[in-house]
Amino acid sequence: MSPTEEQDETPAESSPDSYREVSSAITLPVRSFFRPARGRARSLLVALHGMGQSARYLEARLGCLRDPERALLIPDAPLPFEMKSADGSRREGHAWYIYTGDQEAFLQSARRTAAWLKKLIVDVRRAENLETTPVVLVGYSQGGYFAGLFAAQAGLVPARLVVINGRLKDEIVDAKQARSWPPTLVLHGEKDRFLPIERARMSAEALARAGAPVAFQGFPSGHGLNPDQITAAHAWLREAGL
């Protein structure tokens, strides 16, 4: 089969109008990792990895955020994502949403994942007797962007929100939501080539102008997860007793 034939999604010698779309669903296993706190938990910290990454990748880089007085929930994102390495090898990663440029399809994808994550958090809180324990959401890169979407869409507002090297999607947050927005810390690398710091700063400032309690801090680093960002997030949460 030629490359052209592989990419052609229209059945040969048929009009697309003669076909009906038939929908079906598939359930895929998704790994999540939970670690209880030592003693009574200050908070349940839910950590969201970047595009194409995994829960294990992020867990290894959480540093002092793995405070033993916090319970931790670190899920793999539910959407499979094929990653190609520099050497040409491929591996399976995970994504929180699908984005092709179609905003409505993107938001629908994010809403589905937000509903899935909300159920996971509710189920874990119930199973682990954490129903009155504050939930803290920490997201890196795509996970940071999705964390803001979750706060806006899921109907489960975290006690605090940390976005690392991602931006807040301020354009979907209305004035009422902004007034009830959780305290948020946005941490961003000044040398980030994937998401320039000014874009992250502008979205944080837009939400702050609308009345949301959003703070912003830059770091002399790129898009990678900087240990100093982890330290800043940990200190900010501890100041709040979380």
pLDDT for 6: 53
| Rounded Cα gap, residues 24 and 159, in angstroms | 37
pLDDT for 169: 92
Instruction: Tell me whether strands 43-48 and 135-140 are parallel, antiparallel or unpaired.
Output: parallel
Residues 6+ apart with CB under 8 A from 35: 66, 71, 72
Question: Domain ranges in the chain?
Answer: 29-239
In DSSP terms, 35 is beta-bridged to 72
In DSSP terms, 79 is beta-bridged to 95
pLDDT for 12: 57
| Rounded Cα gap, residues 183 and 215, in angstroms | 8
CA distances from 157 to 140, 151, 169 (A): 18, 5, 15
- Cβ atoms within 10 Å, residue 86: 5
pLDDT for 149: 95
| Rounded Cα gap, residues 242 and 235, in angstroms | 9
pLDDT for 21: 85
- Cβ atoms within 10 Å, residue 173: 21
135-148 CB burial, b ≥16 within 10 A, e <16? bbbbbbbbbbbbbb
pLDDT for 184: 97
pLDDT for 221: 96
pLDDT for 91: 84
CATH superfamily of 29-239: Alpha/Beta hydrolase fold, catalytic domain (3.40.50.1820)
Q: pLDDT tens string for the chain (242 positions)?
A: 444 455 555 555 666 678 888 888 887 788 999 999 999 999 999 999 999 999 999 999 999 999 999 999 999 999 998 888 778 888 889 999 999 999 999 999 999 999 999 999 999 999 999 999 999 999 999 999 999 999 998 889 999 999 999 999 999 898 888 989 999 999 999 999 999 999 999 999 999 999 999 999 999 999 999 999 999 999 999 999 99
Tokens of 234: 């940990």
| Cβ proximity of 187 and 219 under 8 Å | yes
Of 160, 166, 157, nearest in space to 70 by CA: 160
pTM equals 0.89
Q: What is the largest CA-CA distance in the chain?
A: 67
For residue 44, is it left (φ>0), alpha (ψ between -120 and 50) or beta? beta
| Rounded Cα gap, residues 67 and 36, in angstroms | 11
pLDDT for 96: 97
pLDDT for 18: 82
Of 113, 146, 140, 152, nearest in space to 53 by CA: 140
